[in-house]
A and B are shown apart, each in its own frame.
Chain A
Amino acid sequence: MKVLISNSSPDPIYEQISRQIKAQIISSDLAEGEALPSIRKLAQELQISVITTKRAYDELEREGFINTVSGKGTYVAVQNQELLKEKKMKIVEEKLAEAVSEARILGIGVEQLKEMLLLLYKEDE
């Protein structure tokens, strides 16, 4: 598991943590059933408040990404494949929506936007 915290980011630290862990679960860098460090261990490693790491884990648990077995530890939850696919789509959708609204503000038309998308997609291949 990799977590990098930026103090200059406007996002709260708990959100930075949960977002990064979520991304690693969705990309399968963190495998199902894999153990995560305890909230106290993670707080020590990152030198942050226990309350912050607890909140990050609570959020991940609520969204079904991890499970906490009391007295044993925290593990990456078994992911429903359909759901995982949906979550992945949702991330792409959100990013695209962001790009679209930015494009509107800047007065970039849909044709031009399509062109940009195609260009970027090819560039990446």
Chain B
Amino acid sequence: MENAIQIKGLRKEYKGFTLKDVSFSLPQGYIMGLVGPNGAGKTTIIKLIMNLVRRKAGEITVLGKDNIGDEAEVKSRIGFVHEAPSFYDDAPLKDIKAAVAHFYKRWDDKLFLALAGEFGLPLDKKFKKLSHGMKMKFSIALALSHDADLLILDEPTSGLDPVFRRELLERLSGLMQDERKSILFSTHITSDLERTADYITFIHDGEIVFSLPKDDIKEKWGIVKGSRALLEAQYRRLFRGIRETSVGVEALTSDIQEARRTFDSDVVIERPSIEEIMVLMDKGEHYA
């Protein structure tokens, strides 16, 4: 199976932040959620894929092509939504659309106009007059209108209400009926990913913590809730993160079976949400 995105040893250094040798791949035909706290490096990875910033080291292949060597072709096949969409501020949307359409061989004007109608986009209004949510919707409509093989969405749901978010997610899973399409979706609203995402890549402090099929995580990971006895040294190796409160301890494990064997009935073992994993791994030291 071809990978829609393949990243190897990607490195980027900023003052005070380093993206450390990031490697992961997204198989073609699937949706990957890129999650992590603010400042973890999600947007940096996406900017590097889009070749908007210069990398220090590493290799990125998109749809089988080098993202820099074949930049024009690669970009024509990507639908990109930036976390803070920016276009020429003083131009009305319809002019921006006309300029953008020009870049894509497979631009579908009918589809764009249908989406614009559905999203309630005021095409005669200047870009700068739009709210953040409206700018996002405009950017999403553009990204969806040229039959892209890969959608790269950087925090596309921030600033959008739950109803539109759900509609967008349903639209995205509609696109996935075509098994050649793929989606990379960064978000800190992890509930967006609980349902349709196929893979979850969790990044923390510039490093990939894991990149796994969501079902594997849902099946194998667990949260153990119990007393402070969980803090004993013998259990440390079981946990990927621990949160202490005045009334007890919550610990994250990536082996729920072993946790069930190890602890008896005085603990509660539950399946974690992606958000809980993110919070616990974030707060806990890394034990494993």
Contact = CB atoms under 8 A, between A and B. Distances in A.
Check if A and B associate: yes
B170 A47 contact: yes
Chain A at the B interface: SS class: helix
A44 B215 CA distance: 16
Interface string B201-219: 0000000000001110011
Interface residues of B, number: 20
A43 B169 CA distance: 12
Contacts of B215: 12-14, 49, 51-52, 55
A21 B13 CA distance: 52
Interface in B176-201: 176-177, 179, 195-198
A47 B173 contact: yes
A12, A49, A52, A55: most-surrounded residue (chain B CB, <10 A):
A49
24 contacts: A10-B271, A12-B215, A12-B218, A12-B219, A13-B215, A14-B215, A40-B176, A41-B177, A43-B176, A43-B196, A44-B170, A44-B173, A44-B176, A47-B170, A47-B196, A49-B196, A49-B197, A49-B198, A49-B214, A49-B215, A51-B30, A51-B198, A51-B213, A51-B214
Given A13-B218, A47-B173, A50-B31, 13 more contacts: A12-B215, A13-B215, A14-B215, A40-B179, A41-B177, A44-B177, A47-B169, A47-B195, A49-B198, A49-B213, A50-B29, A51-B30, A51-B214
Interface residues of A, number: 15
Q: 6 nearest interchain CB pairs? A: A49-B198, A44-B173, A47-B195, A51-B198, A40-B177, A51-B213
Interface in A10-59: 10, 12-14, 40-41, 43-44, 47-52, 55
Contacts of B196: 43, 47-49
A94 to B, nearest CB: 22
B16 interface: no
B173 A43 contact: yes
